[in-house]
Structure 1
Amino acid sequence: MGLPTAVVVGVGVEQGVGGAVCRRFAAEGYHVLAAGHTAAKIGQVVDAIRAAGGSAQAVVTDTTSETDVERLFDLAMTPGAGREPADLVVFNAGNNQVIDFRTLTAAQFESFWRVGCFGGFLVGREAARRLAPLGRGTVIFTGASGSLRGKPGFAHFAAAKAGLRMLSQSMAREFGPLGLHVAHVVIDGGINGERLRSVMPKMVAQRGEDGLLDVDAIAETYWQLHRQPRSAWAQEIDLRPYKESF
């Protein structure tokens, strides 16, 4: 028997949710396929995992490309080189930006939807096609505050995230009875990762200790979701710092 395989789509900087999820799965003995659109970033994640004694592979993937996603799952489901077919899939792709609704262009709106929602459809569909017939597996979608409510300047982001949430619910109802666990994680708060620290350092300082979500703590929840007994599956879980208002 080889190592079990996990697919994490939407891996960016090493100190981000995607990178933390990759590290957590690798620590549990998984061979991790780290998929993202920037070779240098996913390469850093893979190098860190290997340096710690884990197993990982970088796969440059455009999550909005049907061909790329199908190719990724062909790789994930083909045993070889000491690994087994995948049984764990995470869709973490997404982008965010404040844009005044009056200046929001059609191209911008479509771009956010394609990455945050359409990409989730492609990944979710391939996961269902490959895993549901086997009667096993976990598919986890990364959500956000925008999954539940649209705030000023975030109509494009909220539309994509709300669509992804509905996708996860429909998948869970359709494929849960077939043995495929589909879950959606609402990350309701700022994430203490490399992106926020570089873009908004003052906000990070103001929030203080435990005022932001820790990426490794988020990754721990993803692992716990995968390990849930099938008699008590969670379809949706929300995460926030204890200081966060909601």
Structure 2
Amino acid sequence: MRRMASSIMARGVAATVGVGPKLGQSIIHKFARERYTVAILARNLGRLLRFVDEIAREEKAHVFVIRIDCPDFKSIREAFEGVLSLGFVKVLVYNAYYHPVSWNPTSFTDIKIDSLEKSLAISFLDAFRTNTTFFPTKQK
């Protein structure tokens, strides 16, 4: 976990899993601007460090970067132990996805089954597993 911080009081933790250059970074800016402690969870931390430094400086926000590999449950558990150590998680945004290198199908039948399965696993099943494991609801 890498921390970039200032001395501003936070409203709680906003954790975002999967931060790309468009939607993910916009989400991070929004929560940093609203004075949340921001936890960024991503597989490739190297490409995020300049962006994280920029947000911490511009928004004067607490920003933490945590490595996660969504298909790996051990990685999910370790990452969320880090997130939960930051405080109460008020917002969880699951923005992870799988994009195969050779992703140029011209029709639905060109999609390879293994690529579809991995995409569904990362975008749906891992999100479900993360949410139900770390943020269980009470049974009535």
Return the TM-score normalized by structure 2.
0.73
Specify which of 89, 93, 104 is matched with residue 96 of structure 2.
93
Greater helix content: 1
C-alpha contact (below 8 Å) 2:10/2:37 kept by paired residues: no
- Identity %, equivalent residues: 17
**1:129/1:62 CA distance change after superposition, 3 Å:** closer
* Aligned length, in residue pairs: 126
Equivalent residue runs for 1:83-232 within 5 Å: 84-94=87-97, 95=99, 97-100=103-106, 104-105=111-112, 109-114=113-118, 116-119=119-122, 120-133=124-137
1:43 to 49, 55, 76: 49
Alignment correspondent of 2:4 = none
2:50 is matched by which residue type in structure 1? Answer: Q
Q: Which residue of 20, 33, 36 corresponds with 1:30?
A: 36
Alignment RMSD (CA, Å): 2.6
Residue 18 of structure 1, CA deviation = 0.5
CA distance in 2, matches of 1:12, 1:121: 20
SS in 1 for 2:52: helix
Q: Which has the higher contact order (CA 8 A, sep 6+)?
A: 2
Match of 2:67 among 55, 60, 70: 60
Gaps of 5+ in 1: 136-174, 179-246
Q: Helix, strand or coil: the match of 1:62? A: coil
**TM-score, normalised on structure 1?**
0.45
Larger radius of gyration: 1
Could you tell me which runs of 5 or more consecutive residues in structure 2 were left unpaired when the two chains were aligned: 1-8
